[in-house]
Structure 1
Amino acid sequence: MSSTKYILGLFDDPDVMMHGIDKLQKNSIPIYDVYTPMPIHGIEAKLGIKDSRLGYAAFLFGCLGGTTIFSLVYYFLVHDWPMNIGGKPYFAVPDFIPVTFEWSVLFASFGMAFTFFYSTHLFPGRAPRVMDLRATNDRFVIAIDAKGNIAHDDITNLLKEAGAVEIKHNDRKYVSYE
């Protein structure tokens, strides 16, 4: 059994990489992930990536923040220490709106940050896993999980046919000069 975890196909053009994704999917080869130095429109749909649920978390954290501060202000200004300011009633809702909005935004922003770090495992102190450093500069990388039942040579040949400039395994490296 091979010790190779991932097979990387490096492309220098996003259109050629998209063609490579089509070719791999047509041959039923599961793609682990794709790394690009810039956003490519339509790649999420092609890879079957679902929309993020981070917006739902933001809404829930915002509701939690708004409810928390509204309850605290209500308790402080109506029950604990009611003050008659300018003849207004104790429970003047328009006075609560600015601080409620600010706390909703504060809770939503911190909650989204913590939820994002938790869901992506990018919390502080963890070293990021980078498949190939050139994916942040000028290369488009398709990572294929090599633990499957497909022969590595078949995957290598498919990537070469798709136009990969370079193909990397853990233990060896193939370069095509086309």
Structure 2
Amino acid sequence: MQKQLTLSQIRFSLFDSGSVGQQQDNNYKTIDSIACWSVICFLLGIGDRHNNNILFDPVTQTIHNIDFEAIFYHAKDLPIPDACDIRLTPFIIHLLGPARFESRFKQTSQNLLRIIQQNSHMFLTSFTAVSTMLSKNKTDIVMKIFENICSNIEEQYWVSINRSIDEIRLGQMFPPWAPLE
């Protein structure tokens, strides 16, 4: 089993990899993966995001989410529900660097949201197939996701990003999802 890296070890691996150009490339890979996973988690209602459900690959310099038990907004139905649509821990925010949500993260998120909207017909086909295997309650949620994709999701996404870093909202969450992660 591979040892879990600490935040400082991850930051060190991003910025101790040769030339300045290589370091910037590694940082961009990390930021791009964070942006992509944030969009995916937002669109599919994947909750229960905390540092134990997020892996860092030191070889590719990318972040990966695991444990998708709380998909389709299931985390909102837990005894102590998620308080945010997107969960960006201080650990993840730190990996974004000093620009945080501006520049690279914002550009990657906007590009991915645009691509998803332009290809919404592919999502409808996939969601239709998935919804036939789900209960009525979950089918409604899947259709809501598709409607969100076809609407102005970019504005909704940025509202969710801002909520995800609201310390008061984060402080109301169940201790394992606490803002100090």
Q: TM-score, normalised by structure 1?
A: 0.22
- Which has the larger helix fraction? 2
Higher normalized contact order (CA 8 Å, seq sep 6+, divided by chain length): 1
Q: Which has the larger radius of gyration?
A: 1
- Which has the larger strand fraction? 1
